[in-house]
Amino acid sequence: MNNPKRNTILFSLLFLGLIVLFFVNISLGSITIPFKEVYTSLTGGQSSKSTWEYIIINYRLPKAITAVLVGMGLSISGLLMQTLFRNPLAGPYVLGLSSGASLGVAFVILGASVLPSILSGILLSPYGIVLASTLGSTTVLLLVLLVSQRLRDTMAILIVGLMFGSFTSAVVGVLTYFSSAEQLQKFTFWSMGNLGNLSWSSILILSICVLLGLFLSLLSIKPLNALLLGENYAKSMGLNFNKARLIIILATSILAGSITAYAGPIAFIGLAVPHIAKLVFQTSNHTVLFWSTLLFGAAIMLICDVVSQMPGMEITLPINAITSILGAPVVIWLLVRKRSFK
Amino acid sequence: MTTNILTTSSLSIGYTSKKETVTIAENLNLNLKAGKLIALIGANGIGKSTLLRTITGIQKPLRGTVLLKDKKISNYEPLALAQNLSMVLTEKLPPSNLTVFELVALGRQPYTNWIGTLSDKDIQIIHEAIELTQIGHLSQKKHYEISDGQLQKVLIGRALAQDTPLIILDEPTTHLDLLHKVSLLKLLKKLTHETGKCILFSTHDIDMAIQLSDEMIIMTPETVIQDEPCNLISKGSFTTLFKDEHIVFDSEKGKFMIV
């Protein structure tokens, strides 16, 4: 049943859970910091150890904020694509958007030696990587869209996405042949995904990109609801389909492109989170799904980050490994349990 | 005196490819009036869909004009068109969790604000549409949980909620058994008379269309005729419908016979 009371309770719980997770995320890490000290550092008070304060303000807080931005952005871009392509398996990673972004970044990082020095100077700046990544993901999305108009079969679209993935790794493979060990290491670290290492100024750029993407998604809620009946019905209800599709594509490209640029290609979040939201809220109404996907995305990304920190241990696992380990079974479970595809 | 909702004058339909222009029908002068249930019949491949696509503005006419409420259909903005013309299509709905109520409510999209908030008036119109189509007991069910016949009614309910003077249905009786075909057509008839809307539907159930519709449009390779069913029978228009010696129209009984 889809009653507003149940939704209000779920939203309140989700919101509270998110706040708790945010603080838990900041308090856990390879160095144990008492919760009370975390609280004093965050509220601007003097922590008893200046290193703790430094870790929290300059390392853990930015990382937690990045996790929230990444989780929200990727999940929403997955939600938009699942409705636009009428395909429950669509997502930024599966459709090859992340691969496209990787290709863009690979060209910038690995191909820098081939490019003229002025150009590589511009491209290696933080903005250059964002630009290359967004361009890469937009190109792939446009190609996927082109294919999807020729092929009505939605499974074919997924295969096309997979092909883009293979193509990208092949091109990256070729590029690695011509690049230095240092460049290679930089690219490999980027491709494993990393929520840390973002300076406050990078977070500002990422926030602006994500907020812009989310704003465009907000504008797409009504068209997305119309598209639940298919393209032709949506048009018969007065939807300017081309304009709506353009906004949706722009939103997903900005979200997936900017996030991939800063945090690397992060798998499965975009695919799995919208399904979790649909399953919990039992609705297709995008007004509800938008906010629930947003909250679930942030919460799940924070959990994945906590897991990757391996609290109390020295090592940190790559975030991409965690999202894949948690996400892949979710997708298989969704496939087996076909009902949730409705 | 009934008002014209949609008229076509010297309309030619067909399509143009790179090499040639294919004309499917020429010089159509059709007239869809308020409060009438009109059936569109013709053999498979005769061009019913092309005609529907042309008069709904999806496809451009080769020549001539389509006027919807005295204004050329190509001059309508998408939103204004959606407030005057609603459709029930044959295509399958994509998978989703939409409930029957939400599906009918989507019909209000041409009237709602940027985020699609339903006003009290919208909700009232949705309830009226649900009541008219007798689907109240289903309103909280998911759209994939109900039968084909019920889904057809829900889609008609959605078109009603769109609140347009003209509703066009593409083969609404396909996939339904006799009982549901009859109840659906009777529902359409009731709707035209109670709401004063004009409803045009294409169908292959000619016997039923003869009995239940107010007017019929018959498409044959040579010509397209619009008239009341009894006039069409006396004119012998049905005999030209199928080019097959084994199918004969019995004008006394008003149905086709196989000999």
Annotate A38-59 with DSSP letters as a single string.
HHHHHTT---SSHHHHHHIIII
DSSP 8-state assignment for residue B74: G
Averaged over A78-100, what is the pLDDT? 85
B146 part of contact set with chain A, CB < 8 Å: no
Show residues of chain A in contact with B85, CB under 8 Å: 236
pLDDT at B137 over 60: yes
Strands B85-88 and B255-258: unpaired
Counting beta carbons within 10 angstroms of the beta carbon of residue B78, is it exposed (0 to 12), middle (13 to 18) or buried (19 or more)? Answer: middle
For chain A, the average pLDDT equals: 85
Q: Decide: B105 and B122 in contact? Cβ < 8 Å.
A: yes
Strands B198-202 and B215-219: unpaired
The shortest CB-CB distance from B116 to any of A88, A222, A230 is to A222
Asked if A284 and B102 come within 8 Å (Cβ–Cβ), the reply is yes
- Terminal alpha carbon distance of chain A: 15
Averaged over B112-134, what is the pLDDT? 94
Averaged over A125-141, what is the pLDDT? 79
- When pLDDT is cut at 50, 70 and 90, the band that residue B247 belongs to is confident
Asked if B97 and A233 come within 8 Å (Cβ–Cβ), the reply is no
What pLDDT score does A80 carry?
Answer: 95
B99 part of contact set with chain A, CB < 8 Å: yes
Question: Which segments of chain B belong to CATH 3.40.50.300?
Answer: 4-84+166-258
Torsion of CA A234, A238, A239, A242, to 10 degrees: 110
Asked if A287 and B115 come within 8 Å (Cβ–Cβ), the reply is yes
Asked if A278 and B97 come within 8 Å (Cβ–Cβ), the reply is yes
What pLDDT score does A122 carry?
Answer: 65
CA-based nearest distance A8→chain B, Å: 17
What pLDDT score does A342 carry?
Answer: 42
Asked if B96 and A342 come within 8 Å (Cβ–Cβ), the reply is yes
Asked if B109 and A278 come within 8 Å (Cβ–Cβ), the reply is no
Residue of B nearest to A240 (CA): B78
What pLDDT score does A234 carry?
Answer: 95
Show residues of chain B in contact with A232, CB under 8 Å: 87, 89, 91
What pLDDT score does A327 carry?
Answer: 84
Show residues of chain A in contact with B100, CB under 8 Å: none
The CATH superfamily holding the domain A4-190+200-309 is ABC transporter involved in vitamin B12 uptake, BtuC (1.10.3470.10)
CA-based nearest distance B135→chain A, Å: 17
pLDDT at B56 over 50: yes
Averaged over B42-68, what is the pLDDT? 92
What pLDDT score does A38 carry?
Answer: 80
CB atoms within 10 A of CB B187: 17
Asked if B97 and A283 come within 8 Å (Cβ–Cβ), the reply is yes
What pLDDT score does A123 carry?
Answer: 62
Asked if A228 and B94 come within 8 Å (Cβ–Cβ), the reply is yes
Q: What is the pLDDT of residues B97-109, one digit of tens each?
A: 899 999 999 999 9
Considering only CA atoms, which of B192, B194, B134 is closest in space to residue B167?
A: B192
Q: Considering only A15-29, A40-54, A213-227, B94-108, which range has the smallest mean pLDDT?
A: A40-54
pLDDT at A136 over 60: yes
Asked if A232 and B89 come within 8 Å (Cβ–Cβ), the reply is yes
Show residues of chain B in contact with A230, CB under 8 Å: 89, 91, 93-94
Work out how many CB contacts closer than 8 A connect A with B.
85
What pLDDT score does A106 carry?
Answer: 86
pLDDT at A341 over 50: no
Averaged over A264-275, what is the pLDDT? 89
Q: What is the CA radius of gyration of chain B?
A: 19
Contacts of residue A228, Cβ cutoff 8 Å, sequence gap at least 6 = A83, A284, B93, B94, B96, B98, B106
Asked if B110 and A228 come within 8 Å (Cβ–Cβ), the reply is no
CA-based nearest distance A155→chain B, Å: 14
pLDDT at A331 over 80: no
Q: What is the pLDDT of residues A184-193, one digit of tens each?
A: 888 888 888 8
H or E stretch covering B178: helix B178-195
Considering only CA atoms, which of B231, B229, B183 is closest in space to residue B38?
A: B229
pLDDT at B211 over 80: yes
What distances in angstroms separate CA A32 from CA A37, A66, A156, A316, B90, one per listed residue? Answer: 11, 21, 49, 14, 63
Asked if A240 and B142 come within 8 Å (Cβ–Cβ), the reply is no
Cα gap A208→A69, rounded to integer Å:
10
Asked if B106 and A225 come within 8 Å (Cβ–Cβ), the reply is yes
The shortest CB-CB distance from B162 to any of A219, A237, A342 is to A237
Percent pLDDT > 70 in chain A is 92
Averaged over B41-51, what is the pLDDT? 91
pLDDT at A157 over 80: no
Q: Decide: B186 and B212 in contact? Cβ < 8 Å.
A: yes
Q: Which residue has the tokens 């979040």?
A: A269
B257 part of contact set with chain A, CB < 8 Å: no
Averaged over A56-72, what is the pLDDT? 93
Q: What is the pLDDT of residues B154-187, one digit of tens each?
A: 999 999 999 999 999 999 998 899 999 999 999 9
pLDDT at B28 over 80: yes
DSSP 8-state assignment for residue B138: G
The shortest CB-CB distance from A284 to any of B98, B109, B110 is to B98
The shortest CB-CB distance from A238 to any of B98, B109, B115 is to B109
DSSP 8-state assignment for residue A60: I
What pLDDT score does B133 carry?
Answer: 93
Considering only CA atoms, which of B55, B25, B39, B7 is closest in space to residue B207?
A: B39
pLDDT at A1 over 60: no
Q: Decide: A37 and A43 in contact? Cβ < 8 Å.
A: no
Q: Which residues of A138-163 are buried (b: 16+ CB within 10 A; e: fewer)?
A: bbbbebbeebbeeeeeeeebbebbee
pLDDT at A340 over 50: no
> Helix, strand, coil shares of chain B as percentages rounded to 5?
35, 25, 35
**A interface residues, B as partner, C-beta within 8 Å:** 1-2, 86, 88, 218-219, 221-222, 225-226, 228-230, 232-233, 235-240, 278, 282-285, 287, 341-342
- When pLDDT is cut at 50, 70 and 90, the band that residue B256 belongs to is confident
Q: Residue A264, Cα to own-chain centre: how many angstroms?
A: 9
The shortest CB-CB distance from B99 to any of A2, A218, A239 is to A2
Q: Decide: A83 and A286 in contact? Cβ < 8 Å.
A: yes
Comparison of pLDDT for A155 and B238, the residue scoring more? B238
CA-based nearest distance A65→chain B, Å: 28
Q: What is the CA radius of gyration of chain A?
A: 20
Selected residues 211-250 of chain B with any CB under 8 Å from a CB in chain A: none
Show residues of chain B in contact with A287, CB under 8 Å: 115-116
The pTM (predicted TM-score) of the whole model is 0.89
Considering only CA atoms, which of B162, B200, B156, B166 is closest in space to residue B5?
A: B166
Averaged over A254-258, what is the pLDDT? 88
What pLDDT score does A28 carry?
Answer: 85
pLDDT at B227 over 70: yes
Contacts of residue B228, Cβ cutoff 8 Å, sequence gap at least 6 = B214, B215, B216
CATH of domain B4-84+166-258: 3.40.50.300
